[in-house]
Amino acid sequence: MKRLNSLLALLVVVLTMSCSDIPENDNPIIGIWNDKSVASAAKSDDSTHHEWVFNDAYLGRYQSYTNNVLSFKTDFRWSVEDDVYTITYPGTDMPTTTVSMKGSLQGDMLEFQNGSLLAIRE
């Protein structure tokens, strides 16, 4: 009986220690962003647009479409410091992107530091 009580006490301690709260990430960048309107404003012959899907684990998926056909996809990491978002694409030769979120009448936008538009929230 002593062994059973000791085993139960040990089990309770292990279960209690292994339970931890996962911090909730409710950053406003989480969601789907694309540059379809930016690409259509450029009016190039081949229709190329890009999509970024930001998730709450500071990761995401980048996809590039040419003529509405998926041409490239990769995962990315993102971080935020002082309302500046840094997007890195590990395992690719894509450059690190630094953007800020701005609001407008058209909706939420991600802008490069020089003010040019990267993407708009879907």
How many CB atoms lie under 10 A from the CB of residue 85?
18
Report how far residue 112's alpha carbon sits from residue 104's, in angstroms, rounded to the nearest whole number: 15
Q: In this predicted structure, which of 18-22, 40-44, 70-74, 89-93 has the lowest mean pLDDT?
A: 40-44
- Where residue 42 sits, what CATH number does that domain have? 2.40.128.360
Domain that holds residue 26: 2-121
Write out the DSSP string of 5-39. Answer: HHHHHHHHHHHHHH--PPPP---TT-EEEE-HHHH
Tally of domains within the chain: 1
**pTM recorded for the entire structure:** 0.75
pLDDT tens digits for range 19-52: 666 677 889 999 999 998 765 555 555 689 999 9
